[in-house]
Amino acid sequence: MEVAETPPSPRVKMMLISLSLSLALSSLAYAAPFTDTPLTDYAHKVKEVAIPPRGWIKRGAPPADYTIELRIALPQPNFSELERHLYEVSDPTHYRYGEYLSKGEVEELIAPHPESLNSVHHWLATHGFTDDHLNRSPASDWIKVNVPVSLAEKMLNTEYHVWVHEPTGKTAIRTTTYSLPETLHHHIELVHPTIHFPSTKPLVATSHLSPILPKVLGANVAHARPIVVPSASGGHVDADCNNNINIKCLQQIYNIGRYKSSAHNGSRIGITGYLEQFANIEDLQSFYKEQRPDAVGSSFDTISVHGGLNNQSLAEAGVEANLDTQFAFGLTFPTPGVFYSTAGRPPIINDLQTPDNTNEPYQDWLDYVLDHPNPPQVVSTSYGDDEQTVPESYARRICQGLAQLGARGVSVFFSSGDFGVGDGDPNPETQICKTNDGRNVTRFMPAFPASCPYVTTIGGTVHIPEVAIGFSGGGFSDLFPRPAYQDSVVSGYLKNLPEGIYAGLFNSSGRAYPDLAAQSSRYVVWVGGHSGHVGGTSASSPTVAAIFSLLNDVRISHGLSPLGFLNPLIYKIQAEHPEALNDITEGNNPGCGTQGFNATKGWDPVTGLGTPNFGKLKDIVLSLE
């Protein structure tokens, strides 16, 4: 008896039709002839060239036999299709809202053209590499291979050097230009590590631990009346929240109240960790005992990425890792939490003959999480760099990887940075915001990945009632155009700027950030067995991520999909339900010899759309089908 074949669902059929059309069109663009001529016989043509970022000094040649891991990025000819799916499943007015793509569907959409795969494999084979030497991503859009420096120089027609960043002592093996056989140029987007120098900024730019003096703080607030904040839970916030931000303060300020999530409905939240930042379990228990007693005895999963460690010595406890995990998991308890410990810290190297591999650890995390069939529905990262120090090809590939997570239903949060519009310095005589393109002109310094249009970027506030904090990063991307979901509010903000102000200092048509904000000063954390204050937008991001994780819990508990890529939703909420976001209208973010941008009514490049009101948002997200 024959069994009738089940026809594909309308959604799958639409995807297949779209993908077939895209592949047919892309095959025309990738119709370069493939011959048996060795690619080494073709003339090389420069692929990328860069000026080294400020502070990096060339010091010497690495050992010829030193091995580096080359990452080769193949074009994703159908990325525009993936982007279309991303916006459709993220738009609350679209009939596909919440119908996220599977890992396999995303990989089909970003797969390179077969001609690109054949050409790159042929090129690698001419240099002696077989399939056994190659490590491919699931979609084959990245190929990794370990190569001696001497061979890498031959393959790329370049010379590598050991570079030292004098202010920090960090080192990297990099070049400032490389070439490929001309016939490969449209089959390879970029090769890394080449011209992309690693970040020299710490992940926590302003975060630091300072001692708390309970008797001094207590004397000022012991009998103080609660602060009236109509949007807060119960309409009041404890007066001490102007001195110490703890779990209770955030529950009050953002109208979370006594809401408690489920431990078993499938909702999860993730925190990324880099630069040997270890989240300490003993400190977590001390934090829980003080701020979240019902969570005492609970913990989180630690996942090692690319050999990341999990050192539980109190002496090795990381300020950033403890801040993120204590508040993200403390606010969302008992939602299961995941901490990703990603290796890749570039150490100080005294001996230039024994340099260390300095591939960007953030890419390692992205490789890992994209290969996972069920990543957490919310992930927060307190990490960033000046956008101008990241080659455009590399920034776009990272951003496209983040779009893949959004298409799969993951809400991705980044802190906006802690240097205002650039260096945090309002003095024009001492500011250091200079372009590194050879012109050396003053310009605002947007941050990346905060400027990626597929993530939700979080700025900072302070005090009760809230005002913008001066270091809150914000501005406009020089790489990514302004997305449609924010066009109306950003155009309105720009229209109200005084004519000619900051002319030439920023790209008014670029992706604007941040999108939201939260408290970013005087968080009380436990580190190394002691409590202390921590500040920075690295505190704001896990806070807002936790609030949206709770909103996911609301939806998942009612049989609805998680919220996924948030920006189309939150900009629509601001337009239709402004009471669901606490508008911040005071403060500014100085830097680059200016006072920066001002917070104002509606969206602004200091606090975005404002801070979240969980109680109001809860009702809204439940109404979305």
Q: Which residues are annotated as a binding site for Ca(2+)?
A: 583-584, 602, 604
Enter the tokens of residue 595.
């006072």
Q: Give me the phi and psi of 172, to 5 degrees please.
A: -155, 145
DSSP annotation of 268 reads: -
**Residues whose CB is less than 8 angstroms from the CB of residue 25 and which lie 6 or more positions away in sequence, other chains included:** none
Dist CA 586 CA 123 (whole Å): 58
Give Dmax over CA atoms of the chain in angstroms.
85
Dist CA 181 CA 348 (whole Å): 35
Q: Please, where are the H alpha helices in 91-228?
A: 103-110, 114-126, 149-156, 214-221
Q: Give me the phi and psi of 59, to 5 degrees please.
A: -120, -25
Q: Annotated catalytic residue: which of 83, 324, 387, 478?
A: 324
H or E stretch at 282 = helix 281-291
Burial annotation 427-463 (CB, 10 A radius, 16+ → b, else e):
eeeebebbebeeeeebbbbbbbbbbbbbbbbbbbbbb
The number of beta carbons lying within 10 Å of the beta carbon of residue 415 is 32
What is the number of residues in the chain? 625
Dist CA 306 CA 323 (whole Å): 23
Burial annotation 82-114 (CB, 10 A radius, 16+ → b, else e):
bbebbbbbbbbeeeebbebbebebbbbbbbbbe
**Residues whose CB is less than 8 angstroms from the CB of residue 125 and which lie 6 or more positions away in sequence, other chains included:** none
Q: Annotated catalytic residue: which of 538, 540, 541, 549?
A: 538
SS3 for 29-55 is HCCCCCCCCCHHHCCEEEEEECCCCCC
Dist CA 384 CA 404 (whole Å): 19
Amino acid, single-letter form, for residue 320: E
DSSP annotation of 343 reads: -
Annotated catalytic residue 538: yes
SS3 for 395-450 is HHHHHHHHHHHHHCCCEEEEECCCCCCCCCCCCCCCCCCECCCCCCCECCCCEECC
Q: Annotated catalytic residue: which of 83, 107, 320, 553?
A: 320
Cross-strand pairs, 273: 341
For 520-584, where are the E strands, in sequence order?
523-527, 530-534, 581-582
Helix (H, G, I), strand (E, B) or coil at 622: helix
Annotated catalytic residue 324: yes
Dist CA 379 CA 257 (whole Å): 23
Enter the tokens of residue 85.
């799916």
Dist CA 120 CA 301 (whole Å): 38
Helix (H, G, I), strand (E, B) or coil at 120: helix
Contact 472, 420 (CB under 8 A): yes
- How does strand 378-381 pair with strand 411-415? parallel
- The CA distances from residue 273 to 278, 358, 457, in Å, are 7, 16, 18
Dist CA 460 CA 419 (whole Å): 11
Annotated binding residues, as ranges?
A: 583-584, 602, 604
Characterise 590 by phi-psi region: left (phi > 0), alpha (psi -120 to 50), beta (else): beta
Dist CA 343 CA 278 (whole Å): 11
Point out the residues that are catalytic: 320, 324, 538
